[in-house]
């Protein structure tokens, strides 16, 4: 299939390249022409063509046009959707693969459907590793439109890989695509809603790891009786937990890698940003009267980290950099 990709940053560029590796043709655009040129150069078999803007991209796409936005949530995405609404035609598809607020998706889909344009929101998880590992995707939109882009989503998904199959998954009420790493969640907005909660859970898991390692790191405190002080090796503990422990996970893998490189994590300040999804998860929980004390506490800890931090916050920074290349002091 042919698809336009707008925004070629840490994930957008890799999404473009992965699609070309799976036989799809990409029209690529980034506001930095040098970034666009680099992605086109890295694409497989010359399958990527550069565009100079949204209008140029629409002109270079043929048939039922599909454009995937991989832009920061907020005004920049809003402007791109509005502009595409004036450039695209009935039957065309706009995809937002960033981390937009799900209520914005619902509104945008309602606006575009008046023009006959389909809108699909794709919550995309995979970070900077997605080029090789693939992306876990949760998406919302009409069945017709989402079925149409299934070859694209299938190419981006990680596939079943070597993960053991879950018992009883062969029942007809279960979507077999979930095993492949992508899932149609429901109407427009539902994909980003599920991804929003996913990221809220991520906050809580990261915070638990960070606090646990901080407790172990502080076990040699002079405030403790001398016979109760332990000098524990954080890198070794992270490594042994990776091997058969019930808390083994990709986040633990990233923690082990960071600690092996620098056990004191002195290369991090511990200034931990939040990019919105944690806040939105808590807001949704308030609307539903659902208690989420762990996620709420983890978000508040990120707020506090910006006025003073400790080893736990450095652990959080190390994990965020590991999975997403996030730089301290920014929301990127």
Burial 4-27 (b: 16+ CB within 10 A, else e): bbbbbbebbbbbbbbbbeeebbbb
- Asked if 103 is an active-site residue, the reply is no
> Among the options 202, 277, 313, 328, which is catalytic?
202
> Among the options 195, 313, 314, 328, which is catalytic?
195
Using CB atoms within 10 A of its CB, is residue 173 exposed (0-12), middle (13-18) or buried (19+)?
A: exposed
Tokens coding 156: 């981006």
- Asked if 195 is an active-site residue, the reply is yes
**Catalytic residue IDs:** 195, 202
């Amino acid at each position: 299939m042919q698809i336009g990709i707008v925004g070629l940053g840490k994930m957008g560029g890799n999404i473009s390249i992965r699609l070309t590796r799976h036989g799809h043709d990409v029209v690529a655009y980034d506001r930095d022409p040098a970034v666009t040129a680099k992605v086109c150069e890295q694409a497989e078999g010359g399958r990527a063509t550069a565009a100079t803007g949204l209008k140029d991209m629409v002109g270079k796409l043929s048939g039922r046009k599909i454009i995937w936005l991989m832009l920061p949530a907020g005004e920049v995405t809003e402007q791109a959707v509005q502009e595409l609404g004036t450039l695209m035609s009935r039957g065309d598809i706009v995809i937002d693969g960033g981390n937009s607020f799900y209520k914005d998706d619902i509104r945008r889909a309602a606006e575009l459907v008046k023009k006959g344009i389909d809108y699909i929101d794709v919550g995309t998880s995979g970070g900077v590793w997605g080029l090789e590992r693939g992306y876990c995707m949760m998406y919302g939109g009409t069945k017709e439109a989402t079925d149409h882009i299934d070859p694209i989503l299938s190419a981006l998904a990680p596939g079943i890989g070597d993960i053991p199959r879950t018992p009883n998954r062969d029942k007809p009420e279960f979507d077999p695509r979930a095993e492949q790493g992508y899932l149609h969640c429901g109407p427009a907005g539902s994909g980003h809603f599920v991804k929003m909660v996913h990221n809220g859970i991520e906050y809580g898991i990261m915070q638990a790891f960070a606090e646990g390692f901080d407790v172990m790191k502080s076990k040699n405190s002079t405030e403790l009786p001398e016979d109760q002080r332990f000098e524990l090796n954080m890198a070794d503990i992270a490594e042994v937990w990776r091997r058969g422990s019930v808390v083994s996970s990709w986040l633990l893998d990233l923690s082990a890698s960071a600690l092996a490189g620098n056990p004191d994590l002195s290369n991090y300040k511990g200034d931990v940003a939040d990019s919105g999804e944690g806040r939105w998860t808590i807001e949704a929980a308030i609307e539903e009267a659902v208690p989420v004390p762990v996620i709420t506490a983890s978000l508040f800890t990120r707020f506090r980290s910006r006025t003073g931090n400790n080893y736990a916050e450095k652990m959080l920074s190390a994990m965020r950099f590991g999975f997403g290349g996030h730089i301290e002091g920014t929301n990127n």
